[in-house]
Amino acid sequence: MLTINFIRENTALVIEKLAIKNFDGSEIISKIIDADKTRRALQLESDNRQAEMNNLSRQIGDLFKAGKKEEAEAARQKTATLKDEIKGLTQKLEKIEKKLQKLIEQVPNLPHESVPKGKSATDNKKIRKRSSRLKLYTGAMAHWDLAKKYDIIDFELGVKLTGAGFPVYKNKGAKLQRALINFFLDENKKAGYTEYWPPLMVNADSAFGTGQLPDKEGQMYYIKSDEFYMIPTAEVPVTNIYRDVILDAKVLPVKCTAYTPCFRREAGSYGKDVRGLNRVHQFDKVEIVQIQHPEKSYETFKEMVSHVESLVVKLKLPYRIMKLCGGDMSFTSALTYDFEVFSAAQGKWLEVSSVSNFESYQANRLKLRFRDESSKKMQLAHTLNGSSLALPRIVAALLENNQTEKGIIIPKVLRKYTGFDIIS
């Protein structure tokens, strides 16, 4: 969430930048500015009345103690109207504060200056591409057919147990999951990330902190009896470790990684993109999160992008890195690079990672701050995260790209984790 101070001081800039995200902010921003003015006038009035009340109360106390009962009684009469006034003012103030808060929550994060204008994924800008031409043998299959052929993923069984989009991995398919998770976590550990194993359900405060609530409520599974949300990504519990935390600047950057299953309702998804592993309700993902000083967050962004890139390279997957245009970016992000791997039998680019800098947008919701060493002032930190990596589409690409007549070849880096080098 943007801070009210920033909006007040940079009104024109805010509207201009929101336009890059195809968000017409002129109306809402002027509403915010108005509400803020009202709020401050009310605050002043209410503070003054309360100061009067405090003085009066102190006097009454003193008078009682001095034994001047009549004077005290007289003063006490005066408090009634003042009390009513204060009550009215604080109620009004509360109302306007809530209104202001709601308005500000509806304003997306501003895009970084390098973000191009654009409407949808077709306007995303290619940053890098590495894809040697893959020659598949005649009769090469899509991963859902390979899954059946080698008995490694059972989609129908998942339907029986739970419903569509809950695949069951088995045999070498199950082992491959474990291998990938361990490989990713080990690589992250080597790059300096602290490993976590967080809860898979979070409370509403946490879901709000990273921005899933209120706008993405319908995308999360909700446990009604206990008011918990199933996490859609490890980003939620991991980033919330630092909710309401004031960090010492010396500890920056904070680097965390975690493997978790992720649960997404994917309400509104339909059609061909949901086939096989392309889009599922439960999937596994290793995530990286960093908390960094505002001046260094874009360096950190680069570092995270190249770290994720190193993983894709080690798996020898053809990939491309896309800078998302304003229209395709998430509500909370200032800059996002998507990683896509090419899944040869489908002939499709599949998104396997999304690295984002949220600047202080999440930190403001989280109240995640640090004390700046030179100015000694409290400041919002910057948060960043990325997938490293999401498993299903990596598996889809590995199966499709590495298939041969003899079976599916396991990439060299994974063999010490799988214990086998071919699925046949």
Site for RNA in 234-253 (CB under 7 A): 246
For RNA, the binding residue among 19, 28, 33, 40 (CB under 7 A) is 40
Kindly report the number of other CB atoms within 10 A of residue 254's CB atom: 19
Decide: is 58 part of the binding site for RNA (CB under 7 A).
Answer: yes
Number of residues that bind RNA (CB under 7 A): 29
For RNA, the binding residue among 9, 13, 24, 54 (CB under 7 A) is 54
CB of 54 to RNA, least distance (A): 4
Which of these ranges, 40-48, 206-214, 268-276, 408-416, lies near RNA under the rule CB under 7 A?
Answer: 40-48
Decide: is 206 part of the binding site for RNA (CB under 7 A).
Answer: no
Separation CA 240–CA 287 (nearest Å): 14
Decide: is 66 part of the binding site for RNA (CB under 7 A).
Answer: no
For RNA, the binding residue among 6, 64, 331, 417 (CB under 7 A) is 64
Which of these ranges, 78-86, 158-166, 206-214, 271-279, lies near RNA under the rule CB under 7 A?
Answer: 78-86
For RNA, the binding residue among 19, 28, 33, 56 (CB under 7 A) is 56
CB of 76 to RNA, least distance (A): 4
Site for RNA in 353-382 (CB under 7 A): 369, 378
For residues 122 and 225, which CB has a smaller minimum distance to RNA in the complex?
225
On whether the CB atoms of residues 37 and 22 are closer than 8 A, the answer is no
Decide: is 50 part of the binding site for RNA (CB under 7 A).
Answer: yes
Decide: is 43 part of the binding site for RNA (CB under 7 A).
Answer: yes
Decide: is 11 part of the binding site for RNA (CB under 7 A).
Answer: no
On whether the CB atoms of residues 310 and 355 are closer than 8 A, the answer is no
Decide: is 53 part of the binding site for RNA (CB under 7 A).
Answer: yes
**Residue among 316, 308, 311 at smallest CA distance from 338:** 308
For RNA, the binding residue among 19, 31, 76, 409 (CB under 7 A) is 76
Which residues of the shown chain bind RNA in the complex (CB under 7 A)? 3-5, 36, 39-40, 43-44, 46-48, 50-51, 53-58, 60-61, 64, 76, 79-80, 83, 246, 369, 378
